[in-house]
Chains A and B, each alone.
Chain A
Amino acid sequence: MAEEAGASAAPVGGDGKMTMVVGVDESEHSYYALQWTLLHFFSPGQVQLYRLVVVTAKPTAASAVGLAGPGAADVLPMVEADLKRSSLRVIGKAKELCAQVSDAVFEVVEGDARNVLCEAVERHHAEMLVVGNHGYGAIKRAVLGSVSDYCTHHAHCTVMIVKKPKHKH
């Protein structure tokens, strides 16, 4: 189920450009990754070799909350509305950041981030996927799972991982 929040046409660019998918979520790390990408690949003076597709995953209410029992049916719509608002906010902020990119596509796709990003790569025939990472240590990654690790291994294209530096030098 994909809703295209941005105005755009068919996935294949008729202008011979390659496609780059950037995954964003609410974290500062992913906005940093988006900004880094814009700075180095989409800055106004440069020839744009890539078409930009910004994707955010909206988890389903059921997966986010995991409720069962009485009362679940009442809570789910609220959680759903909240999640939807949250993803629209993410995409809104991404749109602001990408103001100077002429033909960027913005998508909110429902599902788990891992699958959403890999599937977006397939759908757009992207040559590159860009993600930030939360800078979790090994244990946290094992417990919480790492979207960037998953994408590195499963996406069918080159993956660029942009980390927010811990300290400025």
Chain B
Amino acid sequence: MEPERAVASSGPPGDGGAEASRGMAGAATMTKVVVAVDASEESLHALSWALDHVVRHHPGASLVVVHAQHPADHFVYPVAAHGLAYIPPTAMESMKKTQEENTRKVVARALEVCAQRQVTAKATVVEGDPKEAICQAVEDMHADLLVLGSRGLGMIKRALLGSVSDYLAHHASCPVLIVKPPKAHTKGTGNST
């Protein structure tokens, strides 16, 4: 899908490499913004922030909400803040159903936040390790910008605190915008990353 050439180029369009000369991929407009969401409040806040501060500024941009779902055959789940428990295969079915339900809820909530600001967004669900899956999705979609909350993008919060955003900041194929939780929540808990 070619982004529309906003600038009228004088002369024959034979030089396909004209855009490459600038070193920037695509036209000056931001055509695709991808926001990674999960069940956490932080990611929803990141979505709202992106809508208010970035998407508003680029009316032509399309927004895609991405949710990374842990693979269904993931047979451990977190207990409390940092425990792990193994579940028997018999409970897999119900866990899978619960997971799909959660995914639906997360996506629905995210799309609602977009709709509240009159932005139509698409949603994509990817499976697998969140950081790699999101990284791959961003590349496949040729995103211009990836937006993340700064923490809480994994179920095992303590162990993975911030590692998804770190990974994506270094590996994503486009610029990454990391939104901090609103100030009221950061200080006072002593949980600095």
The complex places the Cα of A157 from the Cα of B182 at a distance, in Å, of: 9
B28: which of A40, A141, A152, A162 is its contact (CB, 8 Å)? A40
A165 and B193 form a contact (CB under 8 A)? no
Look across to chain B and name the residue whose beta carbon is closest to the beta carbon of A20.
B53
A35 and B24 form a contact (CB under 8 A)? yes
The complex places the Cα of A18 from the Cα of B54 at a distance, in Å, of: 12
The complex places the Cα of A33 from the Cα of B186 at a distance, in Å, of: 28
The complex places the Cα of A41 from the Cα of B144 at a distance, in Å, of: 13
What per-residue 1/0 map shows which CB atoms of B149-191 lie under 8 Å from chain A? 0100000000000100110011011011111100100100000
Min CB gap A64→B, angstroms: 26
A36 and B57 form a contact (CB under 8 A)? no
The complex places the Cα of A41 from the Cα of B29 at a distance, in Å, of: 9
B49 and A40 form a contact (CB under 8 A)? no
* A-B contacts at CB below 8 angstroms, number: 73
Q: Is A148 an interface residue (CB 8 A)?
A: yes
Chain A residues within 8 Å of B178, by CB:
152, 158-161
Instruction: Report if A156-B180 is in contact (Cβ < 8 Å); known contacts: A18-B53, A39-B28, A43-B28.
Output: yes
B162 and A153 form a contact (CB under 8 A)? yes
Chain B residues within 8 Å of A141, by CB:
170
Q: Is B23 an interface residue (CB 8 A)?
A: yes
Look across to chain B and name the residue whose beta carbon is closest to the beta carbon of A32.
B23
Min CB gap B34→A, angstroms: 14
What are 24 sample pairs from A and B whose C-beta atoms fall under 8 A apart? A35-B24, A39-B24, A40-B29, A40-B58, A40-B144, A41-B57, A135-B170, A149-B166, A149-B169, A152-B150, A152-B165, A153-B150, A156-B180, A156-B186, A157-B180, A158-B49, A158-B178, A160-B176, A161-B176, A161-B177, A161-B178, A163-B172, A163-B175, A168-B20
Closest 10 CB pairs of A and B: A162-B175, A160-B177, A153-B193, A161-B169, A158-B179, A159-B178, A161-B176, A39-B28, A43-B28, A40-B30
* Chain B residues engaging chain A, CB cutoff 8 angstroms: 20, 23-25, 28-30, 49, 53, 56-58, 144, 150, 162, 165-166, 169-170, 172-173, 175-180, 183, 186, 192-193
